[in-house]
Amino acid sequence: NGESLVLGIESSCDDTGVAVVRASDGAILGQAITGQVDIHAPWGGVVPKLAQEAHGRAMQSTVQAALQQAGISEEQLDGVAVTIGPGLSLCLQVGVHQARRMAGQHSLKYIPVHHMEAHALIARAGTAVAFPFLCLLVSGGHNMLVVVEGVGSYTLLGSTLDDAVGEAFDKVARLLGLQLDPSGGAAVEALAREGDDQRFRFSRPLVRKPNCNFSYAGLKTAVRLAINAELKGPPSEADRQMRADIAASFQRVALEHLEDRVARAAGWALEEWPGIKHLVVAGGVAANQLLRSKLQALAEKQGLELAVPPPKLCTDNGVMVAWAGIERMRLGLWEHLPAHDAAAEEE
């Protein structure tokens, strides 16, 4: 029927994400995701070896689930896109192996994708977001402001000097004894709704640095000290309000820092690239509703339109990889794998 379909595979961290996306309009025909929260929870962080094994167990069934939802088989695909980095190399290998096997076996286009590019480009799927655009990437591992001039063409305006904002949310969630499933960030945001965000006056990071960089290590330490001073032992109903106040105060300052940097970046970027029309927010932290509403106001003030993908497409997923693959495929940025390569992958 001539419809070009691309399968995307994401396995850079602790989610096995697979999706089938239609090239013509970005329609999601099938998507499946297998998480690993339970596996890593006892260790307080993602354990690469365990993550690799879990990807290995989940890969085949997750691919099949996405294909089944789309109602197609492997050979009806036009291409296979896969995250090749950055991420945990043990985990990336699992996805790359799967993608190469499929591409080799059925002569499909093989499309290597950069994880952060996938986060940034998904905002363009079925929308009016055009190049160049300003993009705030905020996840558990990354925290940066970039001008996206085109596929594979970026100007970095600033990044974090220490922790990423999502990492700070995750650490605060752990310190407050919150549930980490589906994410520490979501738990902090939920508890913060009940809290007084002015109770603790944590200082805003890098106030005297007029650039677009980020820092969350100091704020994290300040929160830890407040928790040690105010909370005794495991969470109880009696100290719930205090926990909520800490969560709300942390979130206020963490988001003020983002706003502050985005405002400066927008000023810089619009001077250099007057054609910028959109502020795109990508990565897991973009799921934060308070951040969305604050950036909405900020964008309006700067004459920009805010574009935030739906929460399910903000956290790691296969759809964004498939879409980035489609954008690359359109530009001829794909590889044909020799058949003997596919045979080698089979061993």
Interaction site with ligand KG4 (CB under 6 A): 13, 139-141, 166-167, 169-170, 183-186, 189, 283-285, 287-288, 315-316
Give the residue with the Cβ less far from Zn ion, 143 or 249: 143
Strands (E), the chain: 5-10, 15-22, 28-35, 79-85, 109-114, 133-138, 143-150, 153-159, 278-282, 305-307
Give the residue with the Cβ less far from Zn ion, 170 or 316: 316
- Report in angstroms how near the CB of residue 283 gets to Zn ion at its nearest: 6
- Report in angstroms how near the CB of residue 145 gets to Zn ion at its nearest: 16
Give bridge partners of residue 134 from the DSSP assignment.
147, 279
Pick one of ligand KG4, Zn ion, none as the site partner of residue 189 (Cβ within 5 to 8 A by kind): ligand KG4
What's the rounded Cα separation, in Å, for the pair 162 and 145?
A: 15
- Report in angstroms how near the CB of residue 125 gets to ligand KG4 at its nearest: 16
- Report in angstroms how near the CB of residue 109 gets to ligand KG4 at its nearest: 25
Comparing C-alpha atoms, which of 122, 185, 110, 190 is closest to residue 151? 122
Give the residue with the Cβ less far from ligand KG4, 103 or 291: 291
What's the rounded Cα separation, in Å, for the pair 125 and 122?
A: 5
Strands (E), 230-288: 278-282
3-class secondary structure, 230: helix
Q: Which residues bind Zn ion (CB under 5 A)?
A: 139, 316
Strands 15-22 and 5-10: antiparallel
> Would you list the DSSP string of 294-324?
HHHHHHHHHT-EEE---HHHHSS-HHHHHHH
Question: The tokens 């190399």 sit on which residue?
Answer: 89
- Report in angstroms how near the CB of residue 139 gets to Zn ion at its nearest: 4
Pick one of Zn ion, ligand KG4, none as the site partner of residue 315 (Cβ within 5 to 8 A by kind): ligand KG4
Give the residue with the Cβ less far from ligand KG4, 23 or 307: 307
Pick one of ligand KG4, Zn ion, none as the site partner of residue 307 (Cβ within 5 to 8 A by kind): none
Give the residue with the Cβ less far from ligand KG4, 106 or 292: 292
Give the residue with the Cβ less far from ligand KG4, 189 or 345: 189
- Report in angstroms how near the CB of residue 170 gets to ligand KG4 at its nearest: 5
What's the rounded Cα separation, in Å, for the pair 167 and 177?
A: 15
